[in-house]
């Protein structure tokens, strides 16, 4: 389910979390546009990321969260196998 991103990052207290997240979103959107969409400039009006984000603090559970993020792709693949593909459902309905 590649519709979201997990990151575990350390931000110094003097930086605003929203500024750091905005910077990461902006730079990564430019990178995607240049390397995958083959655009060289003018990204105005396009959006790659959702407007919002979720942030939580990590303390003593850092290793638990790190393992969760590392295992998330495997878990997403496992969950994808449990879903019924939309194509199959659509084809079944056409037969009736």
Instruction: Enumerate the active-site residues.
Output: 68
- What CA–CA distance (Å, rounded) separates 38 from 40? 6
- What CA–CA distance (Å, rounded) separates 18 from 10? 13
Contact (CB, 8 A) for 59 and 43:
no
Contact (CB, 8 A) for 4 and 25:
no
């Amino acid at each position: 389910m590649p519709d979201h991103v997990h990151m575990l990052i350390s931000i110094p207290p003097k930086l605003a979390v929203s500024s750091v997240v905005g910077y990461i979103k902006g730079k990564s959107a430019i990178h995607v546009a240049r390397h995958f969409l083959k655009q060289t400039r003018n990204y105005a009006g396009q959006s790659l990321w959702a407007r919002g984000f979720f942030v939580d603090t990590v303390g003593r559970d850092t290793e638990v969260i790190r393992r969760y993020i590392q295992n998330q792709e495997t878990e997403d693949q496992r969950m994808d196998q449990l879903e019924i593909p939309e194509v199959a459902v659509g084809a079944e309905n056409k037969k009736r």
